[in-house]
Each structure stands twice: as C-alpha cells, then as structure tokens.
Amino acid sequence: MSDGPGTDAPSCAGSARVVAFVALASCLTVGLVVYTLRHRPPALPADADHRTGQTASECLSCHGPGTKSPRGPNHPVAEGSCFNCHASA
Ligand code: HEC
Ligand code: HEC
C-alpha cells in the first residue's frame, strides 16, 4: 500500500527538500570557512617601516584614514592594540 503513487509523491518532495537543505547548508559552511581563512589579519611586513616597536598612534600615522597606506573599509574598528590581531614581523 505504501508503494502506491499517492504516497510516493509526497516522500519524493520531502527528500528533494532535504537534499536542497543539505546543499544550502554545505554551501553556507564552505563559504564561511573560506571567508574566515581569507580575512585573517596579515602579519606586519619585515621592512624598515615595521622593524621598530611602535604604538598604535604611530601605526595610524601611516595606516589611519587619508595617510599613505590606509586600512581598508573592511578593517575591524580598532584604534589601539594592533598587536592583539597582527603578528609582528
Ligand atoms: C612609516 C609608515 C608606517 C608605519 C609607522 C607602519 N606601517 Fe604598516 N605599512 C606601511 C606601508 C607603506 C605598508 C604597505 C607596504 C608594505 O608592505 O610595506 C604597510 C603594510 C602593513 C601591513 C600589511 C598589509 C598587507 O596587506 O599585508 C600591516 C598588517 C601593517 N602594515 C600594520 C602596521 C602596524 C600594526 C603598525 C604599527 C606597529 C604599522 N603597520 C606601522 C607603512 C607603515
Ligand atoms: C580585531 C583584530 C584587529 C585589530 C585590533 C587590528 N587589525 Fe588590522 N586587520 C585585521 C584583519 C582581520 C585584517 C584583514 C582585513 C581583510 O582581509 O579584509 C587586517 C588588515 C590590516 C591591514 C591591511 C590593509 C587592510 O585593511 O586589509 C593593515 C595595514 C592593518 N590591518 C593595520 C592595523 C593597525 C595599524 C591596527 C592598530 C591601530 C590594526 N590593524 C588593528 C584585524 C585587526
């Protein structure tokens, strides 16, 4: 009785929904992992600008808005403690 076409149709639709849900969930997971890996804070370059110990306000004299190497618009809001996230070179 359960093999009748009347009962098959709803169970097919149900599994299609499950497949769609699993596919969507997988895409979301992969997307979030890739986003996280790609938005790691970069380490300081080992050049003359970065060799010396510096305070956040010194960093911002080059990386603040309108300076020679401003942080991008996606940068987390952070005016101090650059080394909480960025490793020194
Ligand atoms: C004298 C100016 C100057 C100072 C001071 C300075 N920077 Fe930089 N910084 C630059 C320039 C120019 C670049 C980009 C060119 C390069 O790679 O050197 C850069 C690059 C960076 C990068 C790498 C960006 C990337 O896309 O890989 C990070 C992170 C960074 N700086 C953080 C800091 C921090 C934190 C401080 C304070 C401890 C600091 N900087 C002080 C000029 C400066
Ligand atoms: C909360 C963690 C955090 C703190 C604190 C932080 N940063 Fe960043 N920084 C990041 C991340 C994450 C990125 C990479 C952004 C991206 O890839 O979109 C980044 C990128 C940068 C870059 C490369 C340009 C850019 O915008 O992608 C520079 C330069 C930089 N930070 C400077 C600084 C300076 C200077 C300070 C201190 C005043 C600081 N950061 C504090 C997390 C942080």
Q: pLDDT grade, residue 53 (50/70/90)?
A: confident
Q: How far is the CA of 2 from the centre of ligand 2 (A)?
A: 60
pLDDT in tens, 10-44: 556 789 999 999 999 999 999 999 998 888 899 99
Q: How far is CA 67 from CA 44, 55, 62, 73, in A?
A: 17, 16, 5, 14
The predicted structure's pLDDT at residue 13: 73
Residue 10's contacts (CB-CB under 8 Å, 6 or more residues apart) are: none
**CB 68 less than 6 A from any atom of ligand 1:** yes
Q: What is the pTM of this model?
A: 0.81
Question: Per the structure block, which two tokens stand in for 38?
Answer: 């790609």
The predicted structure's pLDDT at residue 8: 53
Average pLDDT over residues 60-80: 91
